[in-house]
Amino acid sequence: MVQKVAIYCRVSTSDQSCSRQERDLVAYAELAGYQVVGIWKETASGSKHRLLQRDQILKLAQARAIDAVLVTELTRWGRSTLDLIHTLQDLAHWRVSLIAQTGIEFSLDTPQGKLIANVMATLAEFERDLVRERVRSGLAAAKARGVKLGRQPGQRVKADRLENKVLLLVEQGHSYRAIARQLHLSKTTVNDIVKRHRQKTAPSLTGISTEDSES
Active site (catalytic) residues: 12
Dihedral of alpha carbons 200, 203, 209, 213, sign: negative
* Rounded Cα distance, 192 and 182, in Å: 17
Which of 124, 49, 142, 34 has its CA nearest to residue 84?
Answer: 124
What are the φ and ψ backbone dihedral angles of 37, each rounded to 5 degrees? -90, -15
Beta bridge partners of 100: 71
Which of 101, 106, 111 has its CA nearest to residue 90?
Answer: 106
* Rounded Cα distance, 120 and 97, in Å: 17
CA distances (Å), 57 to each of 32, 48, 107, in order?
20, 19, 16
